Amino acid sequence: MTRSELVRLFVLDWICDNYENVDQLILRRVAEMGAECTLTIDRLEVVEALAGLVEDGFAKAYLFSSEESMEIEGMPSIDIVEEDFITYFRVTEKGMELHLSDKPDWPFDHNGNLRPDWHLGGGL
């Protein structure tokens, strides 16, 4: 598994249960998971992972405001930190199938602890 594949799986893991915002929760949780694997994961990597997940049909983007909520076609521009947290992401049915599939390279055991035999592949 490459670093980018791992980041994608971390992001997918955090958008499966709810609508999540990059700056409110996804970045923080993915960075924490990365740190447990001795990786520093930044916002750009998370945004790139989300873009790939949206492009591949594993996730969808939504705009939420006090007036309305709407699905966005494709990946929105989220180049800057969103102070008002209006862009959210959610897993699609296709993404949930991937999330629930067996991933032998997943770094954590069933208790959420880093597997002692885990290492990042892909030449890193």
37-87 pLDDT, tens digit each? 999 999 999 999 999 999 999 999 998 876 777 888 888 887 755 666 688
Q: What is the reported pLDDT for 83?
A: 62
113, two tokens: 């602890």
Residue 85: the pLDDT is 65
Q: Is the per-residue pLDDT at 1 higher than 50?
A: yes
Q: Within its chain, how far is the Cα of 43 from the centroid?
A: 11
Q: How far is CA 13 from CA 1, 65, 68, 70, 84, in A?
A: 16, 25, 27, 23, 23
* Residue 29, pLDDT score: 93
pLDDT digits (tens, 9 = 90+) for 18-30: 888 888 889 999 9
Residue 124, pLDDT > 70, answer no
pTM metric for this prediction: 0.86
Residues whose CB is less than 8 angstroms from the CB of residue 107 and which lie 6 or more positions away in sequence, other chains included: 6, 36, 37, 114, 115, 118
How far is 94 from 116, CA to CA, in rounded Å? 30
User: Hey, what are 59's tokens?
Assistant: 């996730």
Predicted pLDDT at 123: 36
β-pairing, 20-21 vs 87-91, is antiparallel
**91-100 pLDDT per residue, tens:** 999 999 999 8
Domains and CATH numbers, the chain: 3-100 (1.10.10.10)
Judged against a pLDDT cut of 90, whether residue 11 lies above it is answered with yes
